[in-house]
Amino acid sequence: MVDVPLGAAGVPPAEVEDVELYHPKSWLTHYVFSQDAKIIAVQYSVTALSIGLVALMLSWLMRLQLAFPGALSFIDADAYYQLITMHGMMMVVYVLTALFLGGFGNYLIPLMLGARDMVFPYANMLSFWFYLLAVVVLFASFAVPGGPTGAGWTLYPPQAITAGTPGLAWGIIMMLVSLMIFIIGFTMGGLNYVVTVLQGRTRGMTLMRMPLTVWGIFTASVMALLAFPALFVGCVMMLFDRLLGTSFFMPEIIEQGARLPYGGGSPILFQHLFWFFGHPEVYIVALPAFGIVSDLISVHARRNIFGYRMMVWAIVAIGALSFVVWAHHMYVSGMNPYFGFFFATTTLIIAIPTAIKVYNWVLTLWRGDIHLTVPMLFALAFIVTFVNGGLTGLFLGNVVVDVPLSDTMFVVAHFHMVMGVAPILVIFGAMYHWYPKATGRLLSVPLGRFHFWVTFLGAYLIFFPMHYLGLMGVPRRYYEMGETAIYPQSAHDLNIFITVMALLVGAAQLVFVFNLIWSLRHGREAGGNPWRACSLEWQTPVTPPPHGNFGKELPVVYRWAYDYNVPGAPEDFIPQNQPPLAGEMAGRTP
């Protein structure tokens, strides 16, 4: 038994200094220029989901072109590259990063830690408006002459700023400027998420009592703060190359017999900078998903999370390791083979903490009282999908296997499984889970079940066949196969099948959007704690929580966030702010 001083019934109120809460004075400062983290979270989420829908439609257009080349007259090679670039960039940066950190981070960090708000609310508000400005700049690039950039989401120079790539005139500039605005905005938000975890925790909420969701978002925010500067530097340098004629990334280029004014730059330098950001970015998206899934599984299986300490350590270890694996995206860039060996090793080492997490999720389910609620369905689907995507990652992490598979549809299938479908499943699960807290009403269950099965099965029908296409050697980034007769008819048939599935799954998302809007008015009343969960956000006196979250006094935390089915307890869960029950200590043996 660990010796912990027990708080008596009459503990003094929380000794965390009360933050100076800002008080909105008008409708405008209450709902639009709000400094309340919960409102900012909703603003972030709605914006990110809308961009997600646009990016989804862009992918439809790409799929239509791949299945029926030439059927849509407005898609030529240039337009196809523009679609690819915008789809990728939107999804990775403006949807996933913004939704997990800006959306869930803002909503859950203060509530789960028992804080009234973020520590720097004004910077938090600015963060959202910078994000919105970045989005506006990005979308404006659809309207400029020449259209958006078609450089691919990795924006590799020299092609990104050389004639022949669509969007050379304006698109690439808009893209770089938009990313820079996004990064500045994110830095303001990220400072908030990190410092709130460091300083804003209520009394008794030690780091090792934080729900894993907060651990995931916290670690991801730290990583994002350290990784995004690399993209920022890359953007600044490329902007200099494009606008001011420097040669940071541009080698000597002869174009149609004429020598361009560039010379001596290193395109590989950009790849290093880009992937120094780009690889941690994968985990910036994955770690919040890991954390959220841990909580969903524990709540809906009514069982404490297996190996909490290991889970925390694994999150931190993944965060640190992910900074030394970036060059596994560059195996075919002609780098020193010893570097390749080093990065393959670090890449495979990351599989260890990740596997620990998967085992712990499965062991949490083991002999649990599993409720197949909609959030739980999504959480279970995530585990399966993440394992699938992770296994193909082991293929691609090895240099000798990666080289032949590089730039094929196999890579597309891999990263969509692991970084596209898997986190999106968690986002859906989390939406179904926390929607009742944010609105006071539950989302419709039948609609949710329909949404789940179509999305889950459909995603597999889309991305599993892509692995086969990749193994056949079908390249990615080609807007049509053209006269390449080397691919059998089955490859073309498969392409049509994938496209039909993509259209169906995409359309099914409208059910989710409808559910979100419809349930706002007509959903079942949820009450304060519909899932009977332990963590603090479910213990607010009023639902949805008002400004200031916890009424007059901040809650005091007496236990960790996973006390489900404790023997002898009157209910099958004990909230985190529940003082020790009579005789409870005796029931716990190490």
Give residues in contact with another protein (CB under 8 A): 1-2, 4-7, 11, 119-120, 187, 190-191, 194-195, 198-199, 203-204, 206-209, 222, 225-226, 229-230, 232-233, 236-237, 240, 244-248, 261, 263-266, 269, 272-273, 276, 304, 308-309, 312-313, 316, 320, 323-324, 556-560, 562, 580, 584-585, 588, 590
Q: Which residues does 409 contact at the CB level (< 8 Å), separation at least 6?
A: 466, 467, 469, 470, 474, 475, 476
In whole angstroms, the minimum distance from the beta carbon of 376 to another protein comes to 22
As given in the structure block, the two tokens for residue 439 are 């609105």
Between 174 and 238, CB nearer to another protein: 238
CB of 340 to another protein, least distance (A): 15
CB of residue 547 vs another protein: minimum separation in angstroms?
20
Please answer whether residues 120 and 114 qualify as being in contact, where contact means their C-beta atoms are separated by less than 8 angstroms. no
Q: Which is nearer to another protein, 21 or 320 (CB)?
A: 320
Cα dist from 573 to 111, 112, 244, 298, whole Å: 19, 16, 63, 11
Instruction: Transcribe 296-360 into DSSP letters.
Output: HHHHHTTSPPTTHHHHHHHHHHHHHHGGG-GGGG-GGGT--HHHHHHHHHHHHHHHHHHHHHHHH
Angle between helices 106-113 and 422-439 (to 10 degrees): 60
CB of 187 to another protein, least distance (A): 6
Least Å from the CB of residue 248 to another protein: 6
Select 485 or 586, whichever has its Cβ closest to another protein.
586
Q: Which is nearer to another protein, 222 or 411 (CB)?
A: 222
Residue among 192, 44, 190, 202 at smallest CA distance from 535: 202
Task: Find, among 508, 505, 544, 523, the residue nearest to 432 by Cα.
Answer: 523
Beta carbons of 55 and 86 less than 8 angstroms apart: yes
The nearer residue to another protein, 14 or 75, going by C-beta atoms, is 14
User: In this complex, which beta carbon is closest to another protein, that of residue 241 or of residue 386?
Assistant: 241
3-state SS, one letter per residue, for 129-140 = HHHHHHHHHHHH
Given a contact cutoff of 8 angstroms between Cβ atoms, the answer to whether 403 and 270 are in contact is: no
**Smallest distance from another protein to CB 589, Å:** 8
What is the residue type of 107? Answer: Y
| Torsion-angle region of 257 (φ positive above 0: left; ψ -120 to 50: alpha; else: beta) | left
Could you tell me the smallest distance in angstroms from the CB atom of residue 285 to another protein?
19
Nearer to another protein, 48 or 197 (CB): 197
Q: Which is nearer to another protein, 49 or 230 (CB)?
A: 230
- Please say which residue, 19 or 62, places its beta carbon nearer to another protein: 19
Minimum distance from CB of 110 to another protein (Å)? 14
**CB 465, min distance to another protein, A:** 38
Whole-Å CA distances, 408 to 173, 272, 404, 467: 29, 22, 8, 9
For residue 245, with 0-12 CB atoms within 10 Å meaning exposed, 13-18 middle and 19 or more buried, which class applies? exposed
